[in-house]
Amino acid sequence: VQAGSPGQKAGLEAFFDFIVSIGNTRL
């Protein structure tokens, strides 16, 4: 996947969502 491609952006957003959900669960 090339940097700046829609696929990478979607992957980063999904990963960030996952991290946020984990943080909210711990809180």
The structural domains of the chain, with segments of one domain joined by +, span: 1-26
pTM: 0.48
State the DSSP string of 1-27: --TT-HHHHHHHHHHHHHHHHHHHHH-
pLDDT in tens, the chain (27 residues): 566 677 777 888 899 999 999 988 876
Cα separation, 15 vs 27, whole angstroms: 19
Cα separation, 18 vs 24, whole angstroms: 10
Cα separation, 1 vs 7, whole angstroms: 7
Cα separation, 8 vs 13, whole angstroms: 9
